[in-house]
Structure 1
Amino acid sequence: MSSECKNRFATLAVHAGAAPDPATGARVTPLYLSNGFAFETPEAASDIFGLRKSGYSYGRGGNPTGAVLEKRIATLEGGTNAVTIASGQSALLVILLTLLQSGDEYVSANRLFGGSLGLMRRLEERHQLKVTFANPLELDNFEKAVTERTKAIVIESIVNPSGDVVDLAAISDIAKRHNIPLVVDNTLATPYLIRPIEYGADIVFHSLSKFIGGHGQVIGGIIVDAGKFNWAGDKRYPLLSQPWEDYGGIVLADKFPQTAFGVASRVYGMRDLGPGLSPFNSFLALTGTETLHLRMPRHVSNAQAVARHLAAHPAVAEVSYPGLENHPNHPLVKRYTPEGPGAVFTARLKGGEAAVKRLISNVKVFSHLANIGETRSLIIHPASTTHRNMPPEERLAAGLGPDVVRLSIGLEDALDLTADLDQALKD
């Protein structure tokens, strides 16, 4: 890993974590379709299950194909270790359940992927994990949301769906002042555009279903441990700092000081809760990483072209893409994402919800579906789909009124995309 880290992003995206298969010489990482793995001896089996020795035991806790993906994404993000998991949603769930117990509190950005917001509300209602929402673009209010009972901060690096870039270093400073971990969903940025650990993030996660997988084939997630938060002796986080009696009294923060959160996520999140990622989805996501450095610049340049075009269109009232120079979030783009703020943004139409529905019904190149970050361009109406469970007043405050459409810009020719939108916007 240390020698790999000397290489640049493109080389790491292709090679990190991988080597020719020792049994066959296969250069592509093999797809290990096995739910169990033979042990050399009874003692080796006991040591692996007891966390005294690394190795594979049962596919729910890890797989050699997934291990290469974990090493690669951890390397690209600058983390110490990673855990592949069944979806981005389950990655967030495992992070929260590893950090929090019933009655605990945390602060979350109020501008997030709709599924994340829905999950957080459900966990509060059913499991008493209290969340306080705050606008991550208003740092004073965000700071005030943190109390002595807060045990984590959760944000997105680039906000889904508005595309706003968050001031990661400033929010990291808030987390450090209160000695709590900062959790960053880096799905829209990918490590190609932003590496949140460099700005103070303690835990990073992704939906692999988006830009990393990149082709609309995969449902998957990954958790990356920065290895920097000091969990040792901190009774607020018992899974990290207290003995696990069923594992011989092991204390993860003492045994694994630089990888403790990743180990806890694997042992509790994977072995106990069970949302493992299939080897086949790991294989597809791993393949996707090999072209990430080629796809992201095209995504960004296309998004910039489409956003500029829509901003000048007579049927469009507003475009929320901070890559545009007149956008209020543009200064943070220059600081954090000089290569561009991703490829997901919203547009507000002058004709209201009726115009949005006509647009979505009339596009021919864009696909009407709920994903983002694919090779193909996608379009959807957040207010009635991805963010429908938000209270109406919160949707409006987040810029997701009924007249707003979300676009995820793919790899097609930008002129074809703008032409498609033009014909679909005609009365």
Structure 2
Amino acid sequence: MSKSWKIETQAVQGTYAPKATEARIPTICQSTTFKYDSAEHVAKLFDLDLPDPFYTRLGNPTTDAFEGKIALMEGGVGALATSSGQAATALSIMNICRAGQHIVTAGTLYGGTYSLFANTLPKLGIEVSFVNPDSSAEEIKKHFRPETKALFAETIGNPGLNVLDFEKFSAVARATGVPLLIDNTFPTPYLCRPLDHGADIVIHSATKYIDGHASSLGGVIVDGGKFDWTSGKFPELTEPDSSYHGLRYVEKFGPSAYIVKARAQYMRDLGVTPSPFNSFLFHQGLTTLPLRMERHSANALALAHFLQGHPKVSWVNYPGLESHPSYPLAQRYMPKGASGVLTFGIKGAREAGIRFMEATRIIALVVHVGDARSCVLHPASTTHRQLSEAQQIASGVTPDLIRLSVGIEHIDDLIADVEQALNAG
């Protein structure tokens, strides 16, 4: 294993290194617990003196292999796999933020994350301020308070598909003394490595492109290992933890303090653990991730160009298009491609959108993105139907909006399917 390998090699070889006669790929360790020969060994495990597995809620050999590979690919010092992307996001915040404290986040978020921040975290006493990511650094700083503990954003906003200005957001985080947490689900580490651009913690919904085949729910947090937790703003990491005999995370674990604490405290207490089988599938998914992301990005760009010239399409939103407002940022931070999700406006609005969604043949109507298979959704009539039209528009969902998650099928077949669906009815 080498950090100097190209990411394509890291994806294939990872951190798993079998010895002679051992399985070439990590096996599924479908066991809750593990055997030991002495009380001293178990005591060292529970004192966090050894990294050996001792209960699958806290660690499992199959999950270890996935965590090691994604940490390597993102350029981090360690990772923690979770049972869902939502769990990864929640733990990433709770690990450094408690009741009475506060975070700042870009407002252009996936709906599930927005709901977590707007509804659930406040019930736990954690306040959240939403900012426009296009605002100036000085305007964003105005939302910070003495009790602010983190700045959060997505590399590519969902569903707006805006690309984050890492230089601006990382500068704000440094100036205010908080870590920058980035959801990197849409680009994956193949297209963008946020830790290379000033981020401190990276989060993924592994359910999407990492799995890549719509088979498993999961998430992961990657620790960059470079943030200085000793400023006095994060006593959870520098002061004694009474549940581990007064252990101080930064003192004992150094650059890995954040991710060790997330596992030792919050995975221990909340138990949002992935199954070993799902971890096995995520590890396998990473093996082909670079190949798939190349194809997703190429297909999405080609389809976006086709849609731009179609008479039944009023607008196309894809950061790989030169006409997109985020195109310069996409070229800077994602030169290998802008991932596989695009949106467009269909003439005829809601009714035309429903007809299109129901008329596609190859492209499936599912509530999902990031699959090897292409997916379509008309949010106004499905996922956002509980909202009024004014509320939908405020959330970025217009009556004419179609979302396509472009898969890895042949582009000619995808274009033909989109064209016949646009002409249906």
Q: Same fold (TM over 0.5)?
A: yes
1:201 maps to a residue whose letter is: A
Query: Is the CA contact 2:156–2:184 (under 8 Å) kept in the aligned structure 1?
Result: yes
Q: Call closer, same or farther: CA 1:136–1:392 in 2, change over 3 Å.
A: farther
Deviation of residue 312 (structure 1)? 1.3
Aligned to 1:139: 136
Alignment of 1:34 onto 2:31: yes
Aligned to 1:182: 180
1:176 maps to a residue whose letter is: R
Cα distance between partner residues in 1 of 2:250 and 2:389 = 43
Between 1:123-132 and 1:170-179, the stretch displaced more is: 123-132
Using the size of structure 2 for normalisation, the TM-score is 0.95
The residue matched to 2:402 in structure 1 has which SS? strand
Deviation of residue 144 (structure 1)? 3.0
The residue matched to 2:98 in structure 1 has which SS? coil
Cα distance between partner residues in 2 of 1:107 and 1:237 = 16
The residue matched to 1:256 in structure 2 has which SS? helix
Q: Pick from 247, 254, 259 the counterpart of residue 250 of structure 1.
A: 247
Q: Call closer, same or farther: CA 1:87–1:264 in 2, change over 3 Å.
A: same
Deviation of residue 425 (structure 1)? 1.3
Cα distance between partner residues in 2 of 1:390 and 1:4 = 49
Deviation of residue 238 (structure 1)? 3.3
Aligned to 2:374: 377
Aligned to 1:80: 77
Give matches, 1:354-373, under 5 Å: 354-373=351-370
Query: Is the CA contact 1:118–1:389 (under 8 Å) kept in the aligned structure 2?
Result: no
The residue matched to 1:56 in structure 2 has which SS? coil
Query: Is the CA contact 1:205–1:222 (under 8 Å) kept in the aligned structure 2?
Result: yes
Aligned to 1:215: 213
Aligned to 2:8: 10
Q: Call closer, same or farther: CA 1:13–1:387 in 2, change over 3 Å.
A: farther
The residue matched to 1:152 in structure 2 has which SS? strand
Deviation of residue 138 (structure 1)? 2.7
Aligned to 2:228: 230
Between 1:380-389 and 1:326-335, the stretch displaced more is: 380-389
Aligned to 1:191: 189
Alignment of 1:67 onto 2:80: no
Query: Is the CA contact 1:33–1:280 (under 8 Å) kept in the aligned structure 2?
Result: yes
Deviation of residue 162 (structure 1)? 2.7
Deviation of residue 143 (structure 1)? 3.4
Query: Is the CA contact 1:194–1:337 (under 8 Å) kept in the aligned structure 2?
Result: yes
The residue matched to 1:5 in structure 2 has which SS? coil
Q: Call closer, same or farther: CA 1:99–1:67 in 2, change over 3 Å.
A: same
Deviation of residue 390 (structure 1)? 7.3
Deviation of residue 278 (structure 1)? 0.6
Query: Is the CA contact 1:114–1:386 (under 8 Å) kept in the aligned structure 2?
Result: no
Query: Is the CA contact 2:343–2:402 (under 8 Å) kept in the aligned structure 1?
Result: yes
1:18 maps to a residue whose letter is: Y
Deviation of residue 397 (structure 1)? 4.3
Query: Is the CA contact 1:21–1:29 (under 8 Å) kept in the aligned structure 2?
Result: no
Q: Which runs of 5+ in 1 are unaligned?
A: none
Between 1:116-125 and 1:36-45, the stretch displaced more is: 116-125
1:205 maps to a residue whose letter is: I
Cα distance between partner residues in 2 of 1:361 and 1:153 = 40
Q: Call closer, same or farther: CA 1:237–1:343 in 2, change over 3 Å.
A: same
The residue matched to 1:272 in structure 2 has which SS? helix
Q: Pick from 252, 256, 260 the counterpart of residue 257 of structure 2.
A: 260
Query: Is the CA contact 1:162–1:345 (under 8 Å) kept in the aligned structure 2?
Result: no
Deviation of residue 169 (structure 1)? 1.9
Aligned to 2:47: 50
Q: Call closer, same or farther: CA 1:21–1:113 in 2, change over 3 Å.
A: farther
Give matches, 1:134-173, under 5 Å: 134-140=131-137, 141-173=139-171
The residue matched to 2:301 in structure 1 has which SS? helix
Cα distance between partner residues in 2 of 1:342 and 1:221 = 19
Q: Pick from 400, 418, 421 the counterpart of residue 403 of structure 1.
A: 400
Cα distance between partner residues in 2 of 1:174 and 1:282 = 35
Q: RMSD of aligned C-alpha atoms?
A: 1.7
1:376-404 per-position Cα deviation (integer Å, ceiling 9, x unaligned)? 00111234544567786564245322221
1:173 maps to a residue whose letter is: A
Cα distance between partner residues in 1 of 2:102 and 2:202 = 19
Aligned to 1:418: 415
Between 1:327-336 and 1:375-384, the stretch displaced more is: 375-384
2:171 maps to a residue whose letter is: D
2:290 maps to a residue whose letter is: H
Query: Is the CA contact 1:232–1:254 (under 8 Å) kept in the aligned structure 2?
Result: no
Cα distance between partner residues in 2 of 1:7 and 1:387 = 43
Identity %, equivalent residues: 40
Cα distance between partner residues in 2 of 1:76 and 1:344 = 22
Q: Which runs of 5+ in 2 are unaligned?
A: none
Deviation of residue 119 (structure 1)? 1.2
Give matches, 1:192-341, under 5 Å: 192-232=190-230, 234=232, 236-341=233-338
1:55-94 per-position Cα deviation (integer Å, ceiling 9, x unaligned)? 1111100100110111110010000000111011100011
Q: Call closer, same or farther: CA 1:389–1:46 in 2, change over 3 Å.
A: farther
